[in-house]
Amino acid sequence: MSLFADASALIAIITRETDAPAIADCLQAEATRLYSALSAWETVAGLCRSYRFMVPTARARVGLFLGELDFQPVPIGEPEFELAAQAYERFGRGRHPAALNMGDCFAYACARTNKARLLFKGPDFAQTDIPSALA
């Protein structure tokens, strides 16, 4: 089975948060690692917002990280849009305690369309029906 990495997991590893070793171990154990342009963008934005990276530095760090771990990009098209809209309807902010935002809904959709477990940090996805890569 493959693994789709949410921005929360990528940020945790890149910034060496306390739970980074467990997340990194999960990544190392998986042969197929997936990401989308949206999850990469959200990682860059999170590094800039929460860790005060400059955009060029964040972009370079994310690109290097994805390349070193042989992540494969997945496209976002109509199937992902449909699943992201369904995820928002079921689990979206203001609709459900999971409070998924746009990036979360697309991570959910990309994991589903690629039959991948989702690697994430935090309580949001744990309140949905998506399989966790950390479980």
What are 36-58's pLDDT values in tens digits? 999 999 999 999 999 999 999 99
CB neighbours (10 Å) of residue 65? 17
Report if residue 37 sits inside a domain. Answer: yes
CB neighbours (10 Å) of residue 32? 13
Report if residue 19 sits inside a domain. Answer: yes
pLDDT greater than 80 at residue 111: yes
Q: Mean pLDDT throughout 76-101?
A: 97
pLDDT greater than 80 at residue 64: yes
Report if residue 126 sits inside a domain. Answer: no
Taking the CA atoms of residue 86, residue 90, residue 95 and residue 96 in that order, the dihedral angle to the nearest 10 degrees is: -140
Tally of domains in the chain: 1
Q: What's at 115, amino acid-wise?
A: K
Report if residue 125 sits inside a domain. Answer: no
Structural domain of 105:
2-119
Report if residue 50 sits inside a domain. Answer: yes
Report if residue 131 sits inside a domain. Answer: no
Report if residue 128 sits inside a domain. Answer: no
Phi-psi region of 52 (alpha: psi -120 to 50; beta: other; left: phi over 0): left
In CATH, what number is assigned to the domain containing residue 35?
3.40.50.1010
pLDDT greater than 90 at residue 113: yes
Beginning with the edge strand found earlier in the chain, give each strand of the sheet holding 116-119 in spatial order: 72-74, 33-36, 2-5, 116-119
What is the per-residue pLDDT across 90-106, written as a single tens digit (0 to 9) for each? 999 999 999 999 999 99
Report if residue 135 sits inside a domain. Answer: no
